[in-house]
Amino acid sequence: MTELSHLPAWRLAELVAAREVSARELATLHLARIARADAALGAFLLVDEAGALGRADRIDAALARGEQPGPLAGVPLALKDIFVTRGIATTVASRILAGWIPPYDGTAVARLYAAGANLLGKLNMDEFAMGSSNENSSVKPCRNPWDLTRVPGGSSGGSAAAVAAGLCAGSLGTDTGGSIRQPAAFCGLVGMKPTYGRVSRYGVVAFASSLDQVGPMTRNVRDAALLLQAIAGHDPHDATSIDAPVPDYRAACERGARGLGGLKIGLPAEYFVDGGGINPEVERAVRAGIARLEDAGATVVPVSLPHTKYAVACYYLVATAEASSNLARYDGVRFGHRAEGTGSLLELYCKSRGEGFGPEVKRRIMLGTFALRSGHYDAYYRKAQQVRALIKRDFDEAFTQVDLIATPATPTAAFRLGEKAADPLAMYLADIFTISCNLAGLPGVSVPCGFTEAGLPIGLQLIAPPLCEEQLFTAAAAHELATDFHTRRPPELA
């Protein structure tokens, strides 16, 4: 039974549908793994044992009646605690939302349920998705299962750690500047950020509304395609949702077995400059990954993305400005804890702000408020939006020459807990290779491409034009076929 915890999600769904394994057996197995291992890992903020077992029984009963519960029948998943879940606490790892029980499911959650998935609980994250290491959770730190002294990445660190450790078969994360792809790279997973608007953000607690996007985190490419297939598509509840057909992503993965003949992959010089901060082990592994794509038939073409050097500064103006606006609703009146003896609303407001938001969230709110204030708007926020347009134009021009762009997912492998905690700028640079993709609204995926000598995973990032997730799945599947990285497991946790 233990081996079931490491089978692909697609295979688990097949076994449940064929009634070779029950949904309850899968739920029980994974709940036992969580109980045994998560004290050391810190991936879960909430385990919904009763709900998971009840859903499993309903799935098994439906199968007994000859019904088909869906393509994710009985597959045990867990969600970053940024997704609104009816009757289950949603806290975004923040004290200010501690104990909040939503009255509805977000669209992505509802679509997973409709596909037959079984949700085990809610996963740790950087508070309000602000961070690159999962050290900003107000509840507890999360650790990397490959090395418990290292971070799992962020902000979707709990999702990455739980999937890599076999505590669930897959997860959904959110990606504002790399928060799916970076932790996927750190934990040896496939992490897909779809085109902005491809997946509904309805029922996702907002960080930066023009950048946030929902996507899957899984142990292999086909599972990522399966999850994205379930959640993608237009949603009238989300004004930014794209009304476009959803292709067959699983078929796109199968095309990867036939090779990549005719595919042109751009290699941007700006991501591989000497002294650019990329670790030599990471660069070697990424270049080896690109060579595998060439072996599969792709042609590598040099391209230029000249405004890349401004991406981090641009991102942290746009993202913090939008965060300061989005988080203004948490004013200590509608959210936050009312302390005994609190007198005026002003006192309540100050107490909630002081005890509700953590240091990183307050830092970003202050930066964003400064950038938006009268007299600074044109110099900062408007200028950042103009640079954002130039970054997007760079990609548009590059995609007239190539089909995909290949880069490192991260400049280093997972760093140690506390290593960058006192240096916000060093922490922000952990996302240097992923941020541009969000600013341009493009789809991107991180796939495992190697390991350091210390045994830490390394990720290769592929970026595509808008709504071209199919090409990403095809190329990622071709790369995966040439390696065994996705089959390797971190040490079992007692």
Copy the structure tokens of residue 35: 């109980």
Do residues 428 and 201 lie in contact, with contact meaning Cβ atoms separated by under 8 Å? no
Provide CB contacts within 8 A for 276, sequence distance 6+: 411
Name the phi and psi angles at 192, rounded to 5.
-110, 120
Q: Report, as residue numbers or ranges, the catalytic residues.
A: 80, 155, 179
Do residues 400 and 393 lie in contact, with contact meaning Cβ atoms separated by under 8 Å? no
Q: Quick check: helix, strand or coil at residue 217?
A: strand
Longest dimension (CA), the chain: 71
| 336/264 Cα distance (integer angstroms) | 52
Q: Quick check: helix, strand or coil at residue 367?
A: helix
| 220/155 Cα distance (integer angstroms) | 20
Q: Quick check: helix, strand or coil at residue 405?
A: strand
Any bridge partners for residue 83, and if so which? 204
Angle between helices 23-41 and 49-64 (to 10 degrees): 160
Name the phi and psi angles at 333, rounded to 5.
-105, -50
Residue count of the chain, please give it.
494
Angle at 312 between CA 310 and CA 317, to 5 degrees: 95
**Full strand arrangement of the beta sheet holding 76-80:** 44-47, 118-123, 76-80, 170-175, 213-218, 190-193, 444-451, 457-463, 404-408, 264-268, 299-303
Do residues 161 and 142 lie in contact, with contact meaning Cβ atoms separated by under 8 Å? yes
Q: Taking the chain, what is the end-to-end CA distance rounded to the nearest angstrom?
A: 17
Do residues 143 and 161 lie in contact, with contact meaning Cβ atoms separated by under 8 Å? yes
Q: Write the DSSP string, 324-335.
A: HHHGGG--SSSS
| 477/229 Cα distance (integer angstroms) | 16
Give the residue among 64, 83, 79 at the shortest CA–CA distance from 23: 64
Q: Quick check: helix, strand or coil at residue 75?
A: coil
Do residues 39 and 133 lie in contact, with contact meaning Cβ atoms separated by under 8 Å? no
Do residues 335 and 351 lie in contact, with contact meaning Cβ atoms separated by under 8 Å? no
CA torsion sign for 339, 344, 346, 347 is negative
Copy the structure tokens of residue 447: 């796939």
